Homo-oligomer: A and B are copies of this chain.
Amino acid sequence: MFEPSERGQEYREKLLSFMDEYVYPAESVYHEQMVTSGDVNHHPQVLEDLKAEARDRGLWNLFHPHKEWGPGLSNLDYAHLAEVMGRSIELAPEATNCNAPDTGNMEVLTLFGTDEHKEKWLKPLLDGKIASAFAMTEPAVASSDATNIETQMVADGDEYVINGRKWWTSNALHKNCKVLIVMGKTDPSAEKHRQQSMMVVPLDTPGVKVVRGLPVFGYQDREGHAEVIFEDVRVPKSALLAGEGDGFMISQARLGPGRIHHCMRAIGVAERALDLMIDRAQSRVTFGQPIANRSNIQDWIAESRMEIEMARLLTLKAAYLMDTVGNKGARTEISAIKVVAPNVALKVIDRAIQVHGGGGVSDDFPLAKMYAHMRTLRLADGPDEVHKMTIARQELRRRDANWGKKS
């Protein structure tokens, strides 16, 4: 059943109350504050109000697996919470200080940061005082093959000198953003998976230039997906996370939990879209009856329910496996949910748009924006095709070991 533990269930109920009492009612306030500001990257007051309330209620840093820094929930327990947050995806994750990429950055700093990193960056992040970005993807090379990365990190005395161009550096335009974790190459001559390193780079370091925010479809997300140039950026050697050459390893470590978070939020998004579809179908009348009476619309509703439920079970299984047998044992599942969850969400949202007519593609409903957001998830962190390749290889290996044997 992949049900949450008793403790997880308590958090879930507290979160549901918070959603009902604060988050959903805040949605219209949020949009008004954003529009009024005239600034797509505005940080609206309502978010800070929600954060204060969430913290008061103990709904804070829920994601953090280490008891020292958060409730220390299992991946499975947190997965259930991430789904709930996904139902109001512009507000709930940030309100509870569970927003990507801050979550991944906080995990990385917890695991691989120095004491100085923790004091200077981790603590204010955990306090929700600052935001952070993660600079990995590059415009010049296919991100589906992580070893492609071209950003250089050259040692020079006590410092590294960083040169390169990144994009899709999410959060870099957040008003509170203060620091980046940057992936680059310290040793291009090393073994393929030991060339990369990760470093902590304050956003105001000379040579760091946020060139622009990339739109997603036509949306400029509040937190921003930035193109960032690093031009002779000098950081002390202490900027290094773990050791030289550990960049790939760190990226693998942050990957598993992040997948669960993204996918469960995507399922929350899909649930929200399904509810919108049903409500619209019940209220919209054509040719004398609500369109919810039509069997093609009913088929869409049923298919959406089936697809969402299956994607949820698979994601919960991946979380459970990570908790019990670790990332390696969950390899197929972690790849699979990355393909399944966004695609299911897209299907459901697209049907919901169709049921909404012209309103569906506009901003009178959140559907078009949901669609744009979910569409990027089929590319971010590797396109579908790379994950399918991973799964296929596992299957081929499985049969190789059982050649000729019947199932």
Residues of A within 8 A of B (CB): 1-2, 19-20, 24, 87-88, 137, 139, 142-145, 148, 167-168, 214-220, 225, 268, 271-272, 274-275, 278-279, 282, 284-287, 291-292, 294-299, 301-303, 305-306, 309-311, 313-314, 317, 320, 332-333, 336, 339-340, 353-354, 357-364, 368-369, 371-372, 375-376, 378-380, 383-385, 387-393, 395-396, 399-400, 403-404, 406-407
Contacts and interface: CB of A to CB of B under 8 A. Distances in A.
Contacts of A218: 215-220, 363, 368-369, 372
Given A217-B368, A275-B399, A375-B361, A306 B1 contact: no
- Which of A216, A291, A362: most chain B CB closer than 10 A? A362
A358 B336 contact: no
Nearest to A307: B310
The quantity of this chain's copies bound in the complex is 4
**Main DSSP-derived SS at the A contact region:** helix
A275 B216 contact: no
A110 to B, nearest CB: 28
B286 A305 contact: no
Closest 3 CB pairs of A and B: A218-B218, A218-B219, A298-B392
Contacts of A404: 279
Nearest to A392: B298
Given A145-B286, A395-B302, A403 B309 contact: no
B392 A376 contact: no
Nearest to A311: B310
13 contacts: A20-B406, A88-B406, A143-B357, A168-B358, A218-B218, A271-B407, A302-B395, A303-B388, A310-B310, A310-B311, A354-B384, A357-B379, A361-B376
A391 B357 contact: no
Nearest to A343: B306
A385 B295 contact: yes
Contact of A362 (B215, B295, B296): B215
